[in-house]
Structure 1
Amino acid sequence: MQKIIITGALGQIGTELVLNLRKKYGNENVLATDIREPEQGSEILDGPFEILDVTDKDKLFELVKDFKADTMMHMAALLSATAEKNPLFAWELNMGGLVNALEAAREYQMQFFTPSSIGAFGPTTPKDMTPQETIQRPTSMYGVNKVAGELLCDYYHTKFGVDTRSMRFPGLISYIKEPGGGTTDYAVEIYFKAIREGKYNSYIAKDTYMDMMFMDDAIKSIIQLMEADGSKLIHRNAYNVSAMSVDPETIKESIQKLMPEFELGYDVDPERQAIADSWPNSIDTTCAKEEWGFSPQYNLDSMTELMLNAIKEKDKLAQK
């Protein structure tokens, strides 16, 4: 990777991915794009930025050509709960944008990454230690998009030789980007509410286990996968990755080790709960570990300590 273009750069993963790639490859070598402008003073503006609607194929091709990109990281998408509110738009954006991005990768011979998700699994998928290769019959539009995306990336690799790579992300937890419409976002909200209000009502029910990972590990894993020897990649689209399987009570107990007064209640959202119930309790990450060395650094307690301290500091700076 030398010249990298990122779509959806202001999204949940994109924001931190841009900043980390610029530290490693240089500000001028990472072009961030999104459909909206960054906020004034955003670190994203420390390097090149362009407005891009990924459904606009001509503009996408123009940017890739002018930037002389050799790598594309396609992060633009609607997340699970948001996609369910407008499924036809989700299909147009998530799949139309992906096809355009893959066509650009084929035309300009770029290495290509796009994230998949545990949302690619469904209620008939084995729930515990879900295998790398298994039944994928999701019941959400987001999940349908992700399964189709995995297959489409496989097709572009086998048919056209595009170096496509991906991983099935679990819920991602970050203090930098606040929740943005995902089913697993309760696991982000709970930390912000713990600091700001001392209590939280979860829209996901007790005993609903889902996989999670700290955002730092997710970003490191993307870069690690993209730098891996392609000849060793068997399950390139898409690897199971995860750091922990938790339910709301598990996170509450971790927070209470540092904030004993923290209170957790429940106000379950039937729509998001239905999505969560269709996903695995835990997934098997053996293939990612064996094929490219996946190894997350943060467990629940180390992540909790970092999240709480970082949100405190973030709020202090915002008040100045």
Structure 2
Amino acid sequence: MDFSFSSNTPRRAPDAITAGTTLRGARRDAAILVTGAGGEMGHGLLESFASERRERAAAGETFPAVIAIDLRELPESHRSLCDEAFTGDVCDEKMLERLLASYEIGAIYHLAALLSTRSEFVPEIAHGVNVGGTLNLLRIAAEEAANNGRPVQFFFPSSIAAYGLPDLDAKSAAGPVDEDRFLQPHTMYGCNKIAGENLGNYYAHHYRKLASDRMEFPVDFRSIRFPGIISADTVPSGGTSDYGPEMLHAAARGESYACFVRPDARIPFMTMPEAVAAIRGLMAAPRSELSRVVYNVQSFAPSAEEFLLEVRKHFPDAETGFEPDLARQSIIDSWPASCDDATARADWGWSPTYDLASAFDDYLVPRIRARYES
């Protein structure tokens, strides 16, 4: 991806686009915006940008400022990787306008969201945050595109929660599910992800369709439907797909664990480093080579029992049993056992780094052991 866009004197977008906004500063620094930067995916992206900046500096090249937003103040480990950090809500339009007074945004990585389990307890709030926040950022991307005369890249992390298979028989018969089937999610989080995908496609291809002065392709929207993500560096926080990493972390701590799904429950997973690499890979791909805006990716798809067997190879004394929670199990049953990622492989060269065994051997177990032994 070419980040070498330059700052210039912005042109005011048409009034139909910029109603309610202020004219932005005559000189603004070129920037990448990362929302939800306080999470591990955000941290991984910030580290990736910092590494690229060092490489470019060594070659005498420039790199845009990296601006972070999170609802909570970023820890120093994150703050040190970005040029400026804002504490606030992506639904706060005034905060976003203050940010835009100083920075010309060329790319947005919109990671901020209310996650799946919490969203089921407060679905209306989840919709406001997950859809309203996404709409705010897409509007800003379109305004920046009009001001600066070029599209703004926009990354949106979607989820396997976007799927909704009707029952276990359909799940068994479906095989690897592509991006266009079974899009009737059973959770508010999944509904929000589908809404975000559709809004992104609208801003990319149909924004202000009837306006005579409409800009063609203002937002270069790209999205990945992530499977369950496993990290060695973050303790799971009760997400619907966290039964795998929860049993692994519990075993490493020497604690017992009651898995909330059946032994035969199956969904796809990938590691956090692979997720970050997938984001960078998709965003670096030439737009002309992309056949769609939303892509599946996955690395391995074990059953819960197969995951436990791998845990016990490394932690033989792991005390893990199965105590299915019917409500959470029903959500897992509505997600594909495997996702078809052939289009991502063909369009932008996606390829997983790990299978289940190598993920444990080369990434998860060494780092988790070091975490708890220290």
Q: Same fold (TM over 0.5)?
A: yes
Question: Are 1:274 and 2:326 matched, yes or no?
Answer: no
Unaligned runs of 5+ in 2: 5-30, 55-62, 146-151, 208-216
Give the aligned residue type for 1:267.
E
Aligned residues: 315
- Contact 1:18 1:44 (C-alpha < 8 Å) held by counterparts: no
Alignment of structure 1 residues 173-252 onto 2, 5 Å: 173-197=230-254, 199-236=256-293, 238-252=294-308
Name the counterpart of 2:370.
Answer: 313
Name the counterpart of 1:97.
Answer: 133
- Contact 2:201 2:221 (C-alpha < 8 Å) held by counterparts: yes
CA distance in 2, matches of 1:280, 1:148: 19
Unaligned runs of 5+ in 1: none
- Contact 1:5 1:64 (C-alpha < 8 Å) held by counterparts: no
CA distance in 2, matches of 1:208, 1:14: 29
Name the counterpart of 1:261.
Answer: 317
By how many angstroms is 1:46 displaced? 4.1
By how many angstroms is 1:255 displaced? 1.9
Say which one has the larger Rg. Answer: 2
- Contact 1:80 1:181 (C-alpha < 8 Å) held by counterparts: no
Give the aligned residue type for 1:286.
A
CA distance in 2, matches of 1:239, 1:157: 15
Question: Are 1:42 and 2:98 matched, yes or no?
Answer: no
By how many angstroms is 1:38 displaced? 2.4
By how many angstroms is 1:28 displaced? 7.1
Question: Are 1:123 and 2:183 matched, yes or no?
Answer: no
- Contact 2:43 2:78 (C-alpha < 8 Å) held by counterparts: no
Say which SS state the counterpart of residue 68 (structure 1) adopts: strand
Alignment of structure 1 residues 58-207 onto 2, 5 Å: 58-109=94-145, 110-124=152-166, 127-160=174-207, 161=217, 162-197=219-254, 199-207=256-264
Q: Deviations over 1:1-49 (max 9, x none)?
A: 353110001124222222222222359722121010124x434334321
Question: Are 1:302 and 2:358 matched, yes or no?
Answer: yes
Name the counterpart of 2:42.
Answer: 14
Superposition TM-score, scaled by structure 1 size: 0.93
By how many angstroms is 1:262 displaced? 2.3
CA distance in 2, matches of 1:32, 1:149: 20
By how many angstroms is 1:223 displaced? 0.4
CA distance in 1, matches of 2:331, 2:370: 33
Question: Are 1:290 and 2:349 matched, yes or no?
Answer: no
Name the counterpart of 1:5.
Answer: 33
- Contact 2:164 2:335 (C-alpha < 8 Å) held by counterparts: yes
By how many angstroms is 1:58 displaced? 2.4
Q: Which moved more, 1:18-27 or 1:156-165?
A: 18-27
CA distance in 2, matches of 1:299, 1:61: 44
By how many angstroms is 1:211 displaced? 0.7
